[in-house]
Amino acid sequence: MARDIVLKERWLTLVTKLSSQFSDGDPLDVEGIIYLVGVQELGQLHRSFKKDEKVNLMHVAICRLLEPYGFYEFDFFDDDGWPHYKVKETLPTLQAGEQSILMKEALVNYFLEKEYID
């Protein structure tokens, strides 16, 4: 139970901090934060992205976020600087609530690693 409380507190801290920095205080959702991770991982922070690139950014972010869990492994950067990952283990089938908790935990861990939150 204590772990859930810590995750919830860290999640709220993360959402508040990112929302004030990137969306004028409007609360960002999980997908919005995943998108920010994709932009961060690509490293091309000050440019606009086409629709298909936004989808690719989300994919990059999910791969990076789930890499510490053993589902993906970084493979290489392509000529345009995009990171590519290979699947190491197939994701288990999760209920929507379980999937949400996994992604929130992965996002919190990512931003803890980056020392954006503590």
The number of beta carbons lying within 10 Å of the beta carbon of residue 68 is 12
The answer as to whether 100 is a domain residue is: yes
Amino acid at 54: K
Q: Note whether residue 118 is domain-resident.
A: no
Query: Would you say residue 38 lies in a domain?
Result: yes
| Domains contained in the chain, number | 1
* Average pLDDT estimate for 27-48: 94
Residue 92: inside a domain: yes
Q: How high is the pLDDT of residue 4?
A: 87
Report if residue 25 sits inside a domain: yes
Domain that holds residue 92: 2-113
Q: Which one is predicted more confidently, 4 or 83? A: 83
- Do 4 and 19 contact (CB within 8 A), yes or no? no
Alpha-carbon distance 113 to 2, whole Å? 21
In whole angstroms, what is the distance from residue 107 CA to residue 45 CA? 19
Residue-wise pLDDT for 64-97, tens only, equals 999 999 999 999 999 999 999 999 999 889 998 8
What six digits make up the tokens of 18? 């990112």
Instruction: Answer whether residue 10 is part of any domain.
Output: yes
* Mean pLDDT value of segment 7-35: 94
What's the pLDDT tens digit per position in 92-104? 899 988 999 999 9
The pTM for the full model equals: 0.92
